Structure 1
Amino acid sequence: MTDSMNEIDPTTSKILVLGATGGTGRLIVQQALARGYEVTALVRLPEKAADLKGAKIIVGDARDETALRQTLKSQFAVISALGTGVSPFREMTFLSSATRALVSAMKAEQVPRLVAITGLGAGDSRGHGGFAFDNLIFPLLLRNVYADKDRQEAIVKDSGLDWVLVRPSILNNKPGGKPVRALTDLSAFQGGSIARADVAKFVLDQVRSHTWLHRAPLVTW
């Protein structure tokens, strides 16, 4: 099945994107609209969403279950591209708090499909980022962020939803279009990078695909 507008099933055409104003989130919105999806974006700062033409913009906090339930009505799927700042010295809870509220709201509104982006270093992908990432960047800058990503992944896995967790390798802003490898066996993998555009494409493919259902592939070039 192709992704042309005429071939999208209308019962699966409505998706909610969280984190739509981030680097990868913007590309997800743009590519989803190009495929013919009806896209809703829940954003905290509407001025950052001014260029997301074609998407329905709703202002709200991703941690607010009431706001999420209102936004989720009639949606088929949710893509979470939520990110968070780097904080080496304090506990981070935004991702897990937002995901906990999202899962509860999706169950209440009977929205079945969740595709959530986490990252290389979450769960059993830790220790596969290459020497500099694993020994310098991760412990010095990202330790608290990834502790929260681990909590986020655990919430998704225990959700009972039709979920896919997508763990990109190091993100870059290069043009997409290269072949993407999706890996769950990381025994021979160390380091790697991928364009945000290719991550966006892979994530959107998971909205209706069962290939990676209930799994957490690492995606890389």
Structure 2
Amino acid sequence: MANSSPVARKILVLGASGGTGRLIVADALSRGHQVTALVRSPDKVDLKGARIVTGDARDEASLRQALAGQNAVVSALGTPASPFREVTTLSTATRALIAAMKAESVSRLVAITGIGAGNSAGHGGFLFDRLVFPLLLARVYADKNRQEALVRNSGLDWVLVRPAVLNNKRGRRSVRAIEDLSGFHGGTIAREDVARFVVDQVADDTWVHRAPLIAW
């Protein structure tokens, strides 16, 4: 049975300075949650209403400092396309995060990966699957897969959220969340709707230990 309690949570957001991360912070604050954002350059972000902690998401000590007293973590960490260089940022940060969460007794983790991770590979549509993914994102998604494996084996109360191709349109306030991808090839979703769905997972048990793909 889902737990959709309206009780305010204390949420640590990683990747809060990114396009989706900023919307997650805003959505969480609008619901009365208390938000902490771990950022490397606080002078470059404008996250009004959030508690800012300066640090690197790959550093366990920084993570533990930011995690103290929190109820949940949202990871909206991203990494740019890397056609030639190996990518390890996401898995390195996730490994440090899991250790820090266990040390601080925080169990709920909502992590955004993306369409193309795990068994959603090959469901992004012709352009994404045949051109964008192999030419620009193969190394990024290899690290997303390592990230997902770490989360799945963490022993935490995790949710892996795999958005379809992101856009910056106005949200529709409703999404499709699916696990059976047979017949699904391509799709988009607004960052605003991703943010809303992600914040929902902080207090709802429906998708715990599952990896929904979300799209319009």
TM-score by length of 2: 0.97
Q: Report the 3-state secondary structure (helix = DSSP H, G, I; strand = E; otherwise coil) of the residue aligned with 1:17.
A: strand
Provide the secondary structure at the position in 2 that maps to 1:199. helix
- After TM superposition, the runs of 4+ consecutive aligned structure 1 residues lying more than 4 A away are none
- The root-mean-square deviation of aligned C-alpha atoms, in Å, is 1.5
Matching residue of 1:110: 105
Residue number among 139, 148, 155 corresponding to 1:144 in the alignment: 139
The match for 1:28 among 20, 24, 33 is 24
Establish whether residue 46 from structure 1 lines up as the match of residue 63 from structure 2. Answer: no
Per-residue deviation, 1:188? 1.0
Instruction: Name the SS for the 1:74 alignment partner.
Output: coil
Q: Which of these residues, 13, 16, 39, is aligned with residue 12 of structure 2?
A: 16
Alpha-carbon distance in 2 for matches of 1:179, 1:14: 25
Structure 2 residue 75 is the aligned partner of structure 1 residue 80:
yes
Structure 1 Cα separation of the partners of residues 173 and 31 of structure 2: 19
- CA 1:30–1:178: 2 relative to 1, 3 Å: closer
Question: Could you say which residue in structure 2 is the equivalent of 1:134?
Answer: 129
* Aligned-partner SS, 2:158: strand
Q: Alignment partner of 2:69: what SS?
A: coil
How many residue pairs get aligned? The number is 215
1:188 and 1:214 map into 2 onto residues whose CA distance is 23
- Rounded Cα–Cα distance in structure 1 between residues aligned with 2:77 and 2:44: 14
Show CA shifts across 1:29-66 (max 9, x none): 001000000100000111222x2100001110000001
CA separation in 2, counterparts of 1:48 and 1:176? Answer: 26
TM-score scaled by structure 1?
Answer: 0.94
- Asked whether the 8 Å contact 1:20–1:28 carries over to 2, the reply is yes
Higher RCO (CA 8 Å, separation ≥ 6 residues): 2
